[in-house]
C-alpha cells in the first residue's frame, strides 16, 4: 500500500509540474477517440472519415476547452446525419439544441461525463458512469450523464433504422420525418437508463457526503445496488430486456472503478481522526479532522568510505 501511495503522490507532482503539457495531450486523446468512434459507428459522410481531418480537429481540441470537443463531436454527428437523410439531420439537430440548453444551463463543467457516457456504452460498461459521476460530481451530473445516454441511444436507433430510412427515399418528407421521430421517441431502454442513472447519481452523491466513516465505500456499494434494482424496476415498466449478465459484470467493474477513484481522490486515515474545539468572539467551532494518507519522501544521504587509503610516500632527507 505504501508503494501505491507513493506512486499516487508522484503522479500528482508530475501532473502539477507539467500540467501545461499533460492537459493538452489528454484533450487531444479524448477528442481523437471521440471522433474516431463517431466515424466508426456512423461513417456516412466520406469527407469526415479522413484520418487527416480527424487528426487536425483533434489537435484543435487539445488547445481549446473541453466544451469545444463536445461541439465538434456534435458537428461530426450532424454531418453524418445529413448524409444519411435530411430528416435525420432535422431531428438530431433539434435534439442536440435541447440537450445543449439543458447541459449549459445545469452542468457546463461536466464535459467529461457527456463524452465518456457514450464511449462506456460502446465498451459495454456504462454502469461505471453513475458511480463515478456521483463520487466526483454533484447532483447536476445527472444531466450530463443523461445527455450522454440520450445521444448514444438516439444514434444507435438511427443506425439500426438506416436501411428503413433509405427505403423511404421516394416517400413524402412528412412520412420520412414521422418515421425518424417515431424511431427516436420509441426508444424505451433510453428512458430506463436515463432515469436509473440519474437517481443512482443522486443516491451516490448523497451517501458520500454523509459525515460517517468510509462514506465513499458505502456510497459505492449502495449506488451499485440501487442501480441494479432501478434497472430491474424500469425493465419491468418499459420492457427493455436488460441483460442480467452484462449488468452484473458492469456492476463489478463499477465497484473496481469506484475503489480506484476513492484511492486517488479520497484516501484518508480514519484511525488518526482528530476532534478539535475552538472559539472566537462570535462562534464556537467543533471540527472533526481526518488526515489524508501520505508518505513522506525521505532523502537518503550516501557517504562513501574508502578503506584502501594510499600510504604517503617516504620522505627523503
State phi, psi for 186 to the nearest 5 degrees.
Answer: -90, 20
Are 215 and 207 contacting, i.e. CB atoms less than 8 angstroms apart? yes
| Three-class SS state of 107 | coil
d(CA 311, CA 160): 90
Domain boundaries defined on the chain:
1-84, 109-164+177-270
State phi, psi for 292 to the nearest 5 degrees.
Answer: -75, 155
Are 186 and 153 contacting, i.e. CB atoms less than 8 angstroms apart? no
d(CA 125, CA 258): 13
Look up the pTM and report it. Answer: 0.83
Question: Which residue positions in the chain have pLDDT lower than 50?
Answer: 317
What is the pLDDT, as a whole number, of residue 225? 95
pLDDT tens, position by position, 247-296:
889 899 999 999 998 888 877 777 778 888 888 888 888 887 878 777 76
Are 165 and 88 contacting, i.e. CB atoms less than 8 angstroms apart? yes
d(CA 140, CA 110): 9
pLDDT tens, position by position, 194-219:
999 999 999 999 999 988 888 899 99
70's enclosing H/E stretch is helix 66-84
Length of the chain in terms of residues written: 317
**Burial tier of 134 (Cβ tally within 10 Å: 0-12, 13-18, 19+):** buried
Amino acid at each position: 500500500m505504501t508503494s501505491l501511495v507513493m506512486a499516487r503522490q508522484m503522479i500528482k507532482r508530475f501532473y502539477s509540474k507539467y500540467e501545461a503539457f499533460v492537459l493538452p495531450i489528454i484533450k487531444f486523446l479524448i477528442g481523437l477517440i471521440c471522433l474516431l468512434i463517431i466515424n466508426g459507428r456512423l461513417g456516412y459522410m466520406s469527407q469526415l472519415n479522413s484520418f487527416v481531418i480527424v487528426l487536425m480537429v483533434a489537435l484543435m481540441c487539445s488547445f481549446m476547452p473541453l466544451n469545444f470537443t463536445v461541439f465538434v463531436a456534435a458537428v461530426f454527428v450532424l454531418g453524418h446525419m445529413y448524409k444519411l437523410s435530411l430528416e435525420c439531420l432535422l431531428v438530431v439537430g433539434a435534439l442536440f439544441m435541447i440537450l445543449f440548453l439543458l447541459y449549459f444551463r445545469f452542468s457546463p463543467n461536466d464535459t467529461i461525463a457527456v463524452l465518456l457516457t457514450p464511449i462506456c456504452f460502446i465498451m459495454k460498461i456504462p454502469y461505471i458512469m453513475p458511480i463515478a459521476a456521483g463520487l466526483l460530481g454533484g447532483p447536476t451530473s445527472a444531466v450530463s450523464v443523461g445527455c450522454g445516454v440520450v445521444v448514444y441511444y438516439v444514434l444507435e436507433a438511427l443506425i439500426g433504422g438506416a436501411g428503413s430510412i433509405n427505403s423511404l427515399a421516394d416517400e413524402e418528407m412528412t412520412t420520412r420525418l414521422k418515421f425518424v421521430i417515431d424511431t427516436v421517441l420509441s426508444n424505451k431502454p433510453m428512458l430506463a437508463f436515463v432515469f436509473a442513472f440519474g437517481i443512482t447519481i443522486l443516491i451516490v452523491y448523497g451517501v458520500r457526503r454523509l459525515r460517517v466513516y468510509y462514506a465513499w465505500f458505502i456510497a459505492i456499494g449502495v449506488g451499485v445496488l440501487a442501480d441494479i434494482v432501478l434497472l430491474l424496476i424500469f425493465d419491468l415498466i418499459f420492457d427493455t430486456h436488460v441483460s442480467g449478465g452484462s449488468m452484473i459484470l458492469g456492476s463489478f467493474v463499477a465497484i473496481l472503478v469506484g475503489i480506484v477513484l476513492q484511492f486517488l481522490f479520497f484516501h484518508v486515515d480514519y484511525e488518526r481522526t482528530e476532534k478539535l474545539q475552538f472559539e472566537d468572539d462570535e462562534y464556537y467551532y467543533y471540527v472533526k479532522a481526518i488526515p489524508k494518507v501520505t508518505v513522506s519522501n525521505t532523502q537518503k544521504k550516501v557517504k562513501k568510505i574508502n578503506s584502501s587509503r594510499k600510504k604517503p610516500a617516504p620522505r627523503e632527507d
